[in-house]
Structure formats: structure tokens, C-alpha cells
Amino acid sequence: MLDFFSGSTRIGNTERAVEECMEIALGSNYNDVDLLIFHTSIGHSFETLVKKAGRLAPGAKILAASCCGIVGREGVSESMKDMALMAIKGSDFAISHTDGIYGSNSFEKCYKMALELKVKAPDINMIYFMASGIDIANDRCIAAIEAVFGNNVTVFGATSSDNMKGEKSYQAVQHQVFEHGAFMVGFFDQTLSISTQATHGFLAIGEPMIVTKSSGNIIEELNSKPAWAEFTERLGLSEEATCGDTIPIGALAEKLTDEKAKVYGNKHILRVVTSHEGNKMHYATDCPVGTELWLTVRDEERIFSEMDNLTRCIANECSGKKIVAIFHADCLARGRFLFNRVLKEELVSRMQNPFFVNGECPPWLGMYGFGEFARLGGDNTFHNYTTALYVINRN
């Protein structure tokens, strides 16, 4: 049986930040902790983080991913000094990882990882997946996992990020640090179930751009013009703009089926461009020729109303169950890059309060990343620009 504990802090010294997170989560006894999952802003040294955690808890597996800010039981922070931890006691989990994952090999890399999990633990019923946020075909990752486990296994998690530069992000497994890595944690505690949902609150506008040339997750032409030039022109930016310039205002929308739109509460699902090479844009999923892509605008009222609806739906699903932990992924563009601090803290407060038990927030590990995995209409789905909640219950 698995037990969850969390802690978060905002300290510039990496070793002290690790110590404080572990003290908040676990007190002074680290001997019986089995898994440590860290989310850390890129102001921290990942090499120092994993070494320090390994010294404090030599018997624990250690995983980490970079982010653009964290959300924990203690609240929200978006600085270069943030660190958050979910600590887990118990043996009902298995881990696999890879390096060198890109859009072109996302299926193969994830299929191999999923097979490794299946061999270790065939009864896995949920998989926490964390991967590089730059140049990866996330829909292919889901397809690979489902090719091994089927659609009944819930995939949740996120893609790692930097401070919205779109240059590099980090993942760590034990004492290895990667820039294009990924890891999976398969949980097989049969007393646990998970509820996941995501929401964005943006609206598609204008006429769509048409993908006229692409390869996998790389878009080469939009409207028969060089993709990056056409994209930035539609945004009112020059071709010299960086991904950091486009991410806050450049959410691209794909139309959903009527059935999924009804469930989602929005007619479109959003996508992000996390990097580009000249005029070639690295999209978050495969994007075949003929795909229609709309520009979008945020609707502040919808962001809050859809968030309230999300928490109500999940709270209803969890009725009568004990919430043991909440994992949370938020798009970095929904943090300080879209909201001032007051609105951001209000959004997080309205996200967390419905799940308080006797006035206390359950163990919570949240991050601002490049993308989110959550179910949509019963299907494992990759999202961008959303708030995604993953509530783990003991039945």
C-alpha cells in the first residue's frame, strides 16, 4: 500500500532546498521512503539535487523534472528558486526511463519503456509520465503506452519546461541528468484509483491556418508559406521572435469532435510551439497536412468558470473516497505570463480548496510545464495551456 507526502520551498541553495522539502514532507525520518519525485525551477542544479537527495535517503528512487514554477500544499511560486517534492512510501510501483527521446522516435522510446514496466509489474493501473517538453510527439507517447497496457491504464503527468525560453529542459533519474529524457512511474496499488481532467478557457478566433507541409510533429508550411514566418506574422511579431515571445499569445487550437467538445466544455483543444529551427516549427503532437489551426485569445471569465466546473466534477467523482494525493500540471503560460500575482493565487486557491479535508490540503505536487496529460471523453489525451488535476483516491 502506498502513502504520499509532499513539501515545497523557495530557497536558492539547492542542498538546503532539498533538505527543507524532505523535512516538510517527512519530518526527520527518511529511512523508509521509497520514491522521491521533485519538480524544480532551472535555477537549481539538478546534479546537486539528486546527489543530496541520495545522501539523505539512500534507499529511495529519485526522479526530477524542470519546470517554470511549482504549486504545493504551501501555495504557488514562480521563481528561479522553486522546488517541490512528492515522497512515497511503499513498494507498489515500478520505474522505467529513457534518454534521447524526440518527435521522430517518441513511439519507439515509449513503447520500450512501457514494455519494461509491464515486465516488472503487469497489474499497473496508472502511469505517471514525465518527458522533455521540447521536440516530442506526445500523442505518439500515449499510443505507445496504450499499445502495451491498453486504454484502461490512465496516463497522467506533464512535459518539463524551462523559464519559457524553449531552449532546454531537464529530467533526472537516480544520479543521471538528461535534456531529452523521459521517465514513467507505474502504480499498481489496487486500493487506489485516479480521477483526471483538464481545462483551458481559451477561445479560437479568425480564420484557421492550414498545414500544407509537415513531417510527424514538425510543421514546415502553413498556408503554403514557411511555417514560422506565417505563424509570427499572424501574431503580429517579426520572424526574429523567440518561442518565449510566442508562447503567451500563440496558443494554437485544433477543433474537437462534437462529442468531445461537449465533455471538454470547449470546441477546441490547444497546442503549443515549444521550439523552431528556422521556419520549421516543433509542434507538441503529430500534425498531418490538412490540419486546421486557429489562433486564440484567453477568456478570463471562462478560465475561472471552467476551473470551478473541473473541481466540481472531480470532487463528485471522489465522493465517498479518501483523497491520498493530488498531482497537478499547469501550462507555464497560465502563470505569471498571463496573470498578475493576485489572479494567479486566486486561481490556485479555487483549485485547491474543494479538496481540503478538515481544513488541510492533501499532499500536492504541481508544476508549470510545457504540456499536460489527462483523460478527455474517456481517452488518454495530451493537452496544452490547461490546468490538469490528477486526484488519487483510496477506495
Q: How far apart are CA 88 and CA 8, in angstroms?
A: 15
Give the residues across from 40 on adjacent strands: 66, 83
**pLDDT attached to residue 125:** 96
**pLDDT attached to residue 166:** 79
Q: How far apart are CA 267 and CA 10, in angstroms?
A: 38
Q: How far apart are CA 143 and CA 369, in angstroms?
A: 21
**pLDDT attached to residue 347:** 78
pLDDT at position 267 over 70: yes
Q: How far is CA 79 from the centre of its chain?
A: 18
User: What pTM was estimated for this model as a whole?
Assistant: 0.94
Provide mean pLDDT across the span 172-199. 96
Q: How far apart are CA 130 and CA 390, in angstroms?
A: 14
Domain residue spans of the chain: 3-198+304-394, 202-298
Residue type present at position 219: I
pLDDT at position 103 over 70: yes
Q: How many CB atoms lie within 10 A of CB 69?
A: 26
pLDDT grade for 343, boundaries at 50, 70 and 90: low
pLDDT grade for 349, boundaries at 50, 70 and 90: confident
pLDDT digits (tens, 9 = 90+) for 39-93: 999 999 999 999 999 999 999 999 999 999 999 999 888 888 999 999 999 999 9
Contact of 258 with 246, CB cutoff 8 Å: no
